[in-house]
Amino acid sequence: MRIIVLVIAVLLLMMTPSAAQQADTVLTNGIVHTMNPDRPRAEAIAITGAQISYVGDDEGTKKLIGEDTQVFDLNGKMVLPGFVSGHEHLVAAGWTQMGVLLGEGRSKEDYLKLIKEYADANPDEKFIRGSGWNATLMGGEFTAADLDEIVPDRPVFLQDYTMHDSWMNSKAMEMGGIDKDSPDPVPGLIYFVRDEEGNPTGYAKEFAWMGGYIKSGAWQPETMIPDSQKQLYDLAASVGYTAYINQFLGTPNIKDQDAHFEDTKVAMAILQDLAEKDQLKLRTYMMMLVKGDDFSAQKAVDYTLELKEQYDSDTVRIQGIKVHPEGVHTSHASVMLGPWLDQPEKKAIRGVSAELTEEVVMAANAAGLDVAVHVDGSKTVRETVDSFIKSKEAGNIDARNSLQHLAFAHPDDIARIVDHKLLVNMTPIWGTTWGGGLEGALKIMGMAVTVQQFQQIRTLIDAGVPVSLGADVPSTDPALMGALTQCEAAMTRRDPSDPDNTTVFPPVNQSLTLDQCLYAATMGGAYDARMEDKIGSIEFGKYADLVVLERDLYTVLPTEVADVPILATMMGGTFTHRDGF
């Protein structure tokens, strides 16, 4: 009898996992899409500490489940790797969303009504801030006088939906020191629209307003940076993001190299503190900024390396340098190879010259830093591709330089991007009617060029180019930042936020498959961030960065993808969002 009991005890010990074998968390009975081509599907995942310790069938988890293991029965729900965005500005961009949100307006009259209602409802606010207006919907000239009629006694600063341009009232210009003698930072690109006598009208183009915003007292970084970070990181986690590249810190100091460096130091310290307290919800990879020809390439490299010595972990890292040489095509601020159809006599100019951009690329790559360049216009694309190729030919073959936005690109340059496998990031919702993307492209370049050159995302992915996705918040409404929203836009070429609008953007041959879009939203972003060996797919040994969805995306219509609920998000084995899970 004692022998039988002993045998049973030994068998039980053999069946019971040791503390070292026990997983902390096990997910079973799920539909797991791993993004790992060697094992694309699984049923179950085990997590030990911050890492994935098992991927396979349900049976294989039994030996990993102990008394302290949390076990979740997914009941057929879908699991994906955590989404990785290649382009956002989440750390400090929340200040651009303060005040009245004008996205629902469709005319100047709509905007004025919303602004007045907000001002009347908030009499104690010293500054009336807002965002979301669209110049293409204004129906002609709009000035400070329009705002003075409804808010004469308080400064009004209203950013457009791209956050590049601002509409101000007279009080805002007075407090910001903006008058007839105020110089245009970069005439023709960063400037104040003026009347016949040279007086600013209240419309400031491409960040010309930022100096006035700071001088007026509207910029309050001690509260705006931490408040913004929490708000937008909570939102990002709720839509499934676990990591992203912050393509420069979005503060009003972006035109001052030294002041922007100081802002970035403050922001990085906040992020590091949160990470050390296990309170940071997204892995954050920060890009430093070059925004004007008065910036120094060497100083940009030196500043970046100085901060990278302090912040270079898998959670908080200084990643490289972002060059922002132009504006967006919808505001006639992108530099094209050919003329604009609606304004053939005018041309956009670069705020960061091709020469300085190339100097930054060469110096940064030589120092082991990657460079991302905003490229909206076809001429900027050509010049940037020239610089990227030149850097590779100089021996910087490991550089992962990237083309951000890639709105218009000539077929010859698409071919060069393919040949050299240059990294590309795109915002698919900008290739729909949302935000005037459709109207703007057709207006300035016409149908033929738009079909041939605009957002050639499918062409690039089919050719094996590494592509990542991003919403570019705050240039996209934060409510639309989700990877599923971007995927629906990429698949349907329609605006997911306006389901009644069935207009499809002309280059329909650029629609993505669900497989392509999900890969770009996970492994694409991970590769862009040099984290493809650690995140982006569900594999043994990688970080447990996961997202749980209510439904299997492969069972819903493309027009329903954005509506599939995110039940849980996990970063490094810790839930950063749970909603009904």
Would you say the C-alpha torsion 471, 477, 481, 487 has a positive or negative sign? negative
Tell me which amino acid residue 531 is: M
DSSP state of 36: -
Q: What is the pLDDT of residue 163?
A: 80
Low-confidence ranges of the chain (pLDDT < 50): 1-2, 4-16
- Residues 242 and 84: their CA atoms lie apart, in Å, by 6
* CB contact at 8 A, 356 and 374: no
Q: What is the pLDDT of residue 17?
A: 53
Q: Which helix (H) or strand (E) holds 110?
A: helix 108-121
Q: What is the pLDDT of residue 574?
A: 98
For 318, the 3-state DSSP assignment is strand
Q: What residue spans of 178-312 are helical by DSSP H?
A: 210-216, 221-238, 257-276, 297-310
- Residues 346 and 260: their CA atoms lie apart, in Å, by 32
For 74, the 3-state DSSP assignment is coil
- Residues 537 and 36: their CA atoms lie apart, in Å, by 6
Q: Which residues pair with 79 in a beta bridge?
A: 32, 548
Domain residue limits, the chain: 2-76, 95-216
- Residues 542 and 243: their CA atoms lie apart, in Å, by 14
* CB contact at 8 A, 113 and 248: no
- Residues 66 and 393: their CA atoms lie apart, in Å, by 55
- Residues 12 and 9: their CA atoms lie apart, in Å, by 5
551's tokens: 């439904």
- Residues 557 and 573: their CA atoms lie apart, in Å, by 31
Over residues 338-362, the pLDDT tens digits come to 999 988 888 888 999 999 999 999 9
- Residues 40 and 310: their CA atoms lie apart, in Å, by 37
Q: Which CATH architecture has domain 95-216?
A: Roll (3.10)
Q: What is the pLDDT of residue 363?
A: 98
- Residues 466 and 37: their CA atoms lie apart, in Å, by 16
Q: Which CATH class name applies to 2-76? A: mainly beta
Q: Is 515 left (phi over 0), alpha (psi -120 to 50) or beta?
A: alpha
Q: What is the pLDDT of residue 19?
A: 52
Q: What is the pLDDT of residue 188?
A: 83
Q: Which helix (H) or strand (E) holds 145?
A: helix 144-148
Percent helix, strand and coil across the chain, each rounded to 5? 40, 20, 40
* CB contact at 8 A, 192 and 208: yes
Q: What is the pLDDT of residue 396?
A: 98
Pairing between β-strand 44-48 and β-strand 51-56 as defined by DSSP bridges: antiparallel
The phi and psi torsions of 274 (rounded to 5 degrees) equal -65, -40
Q: What is the pLDDT of residue 20?
A: 57
